[in-house]
Amino acid sequence: MRLVRYGRPGKEKPGLFDEEGRVRDLSAIIGDIDAAALGDKALRKLARIDPKTLPLVRGTPRFGVPVKGVGKFIGIGMNYADHAAETGAEPPREPIFFLKATSSLSGPDDPVQLPKGSKKTDWEVELGVVIGTRAQYVTEEEALNHVAGYCVVNDVSERAYQFEMGGQWDKGKGCDTFGPVGPFLVTRDEIHDVQDLDLYLEVNGKRMQSGNTSSMIFSVAQIVSYVSRFMTLEPGDIITTGTPPGVGMGRSPQRFLKKGDKLRLGIAGLGEQQQEVVAFPK
């Protein structure tokens, strides 16, 4: 299934895509796509519904984050060796992870807002993993059973805040609008091999990033298992799993986002995002 939340910010309704790519309204079936809807039993119940029996959503609605009530938004750093190389870093021996503020979450096509004083805001297309059932000290063999599904994430990052101002990476990762997620949550049964998905990102029509999840240093199963050793993962938590090469920081000369830039990014089978970069409102 491809589950979505559509409508104005803060007023989103649950929905799903039918076989023709049209949005169907789920609000008579479930209250929202939240923790209660992400377990295996709840997803199987939704999967039994014939989409043709659901009301058709007219027009081209805005999409929000496909999960309501995200408790933790966890990022994995330097998880592609070629990305680590372009930044001058050694590939990590163990997963690096950090927290992105949940206040950074935004819809997949909502504008990306440059924070005040930003000079090095960068892009990062990433595979997002949505947790479906509670995971605590899970093995790699068990890990994917705790996943509800997958989505596209743009791990927008302000590099000066991240690397030049001391402290943790969180400082450059959690600004408002720095976490576009969606357009939809694709349930794990729809993805044949999560370690063989193409990723891409364009800025103003120019391809900047191309990669495949087969190049991850740590697989999705390894990541879920590893993170669950240090914090309990709850339904609705999102882990964004690292980016392939081609970020602005790694280019020569470096290239960072400016007002008016247009981003287009996606992952095979998981849909596409499009964002315009805007200035911080005065």
Residue 184, pLDDT above cutoff 80: yes
Pair 43, 139 in one domain: no
Identify whether 68 is part of a domain: no
Pair 200, 103 in one domain: yes
Residue 166, pLDDT above cutoff 90: no
Cα(235)–Cα(131) distance, integer angstroms: 5
φ/ψ of 10, rounded to 5, equals 85, -10
Identify whether 237 is part of a domain: yes
Q: How much is the mean pLDDT over the chain?
A: 96
Pair 24, 127 in one domain: no
Q: In what order do the strands lie in the sheet with 147-154?
A: 23-25, 13-17, 2-6, 185-187, 147-154, 125-131, 238-240, 73-77, 96-99
Look at residue 66 and give its three-state secondary structure.
Answer: coil
- Region 31-60: mean pLDDT is 97
Pair 98, 20 in one domain: no
Q: C-alpha distances in angstroms, 262 versus 86, 106, 110?
A: 23, 16, 11
Domain count, the chain: 2
Pair 121, 211 in one domain: yes
**Structural domain of 17:** 2-53
Residue 85's pLDDT is: 81
If you ran DSSP here, which 8-state letter would residue 41 be given?
H
Q: Note whether 122 and 157 are within 8 A (CB).
A: yes
Residue 182's pLDDT is: 98
Buried b (16+ CB within 10 A) or exposed e, 105-139: bbbbbbebbbbeebebbbbbbbbbbbbbbebeebe
Structure tokens at 260: 């008016």
pLDDT tens digits for range 74-119: 999 999 988 888 877 788 999 999 999 999 999 999 999 999 999 9
Q: Of all residues in the chain, what percent carry a pLDDT higher than 90? A: 92
Pair 10, 119 in one domain: no
Residue 194's pLDDT is: 98
Identify whether 157 is part of a domain: yes
Identify whether 67 is part of a domain: no
Pair 82, 46 in one domain: no
160: domain CATH number is: 3.90.850.10
Pair 19, 103 in one domain: no
Pair 37, 133 in one domain: no
pLDDT tens digits for range 113-155: 999 999 999 999 999 999 999 999 999 999 999 999 999 999 9
Residue 45, pLDDT above cutoff 80: yes
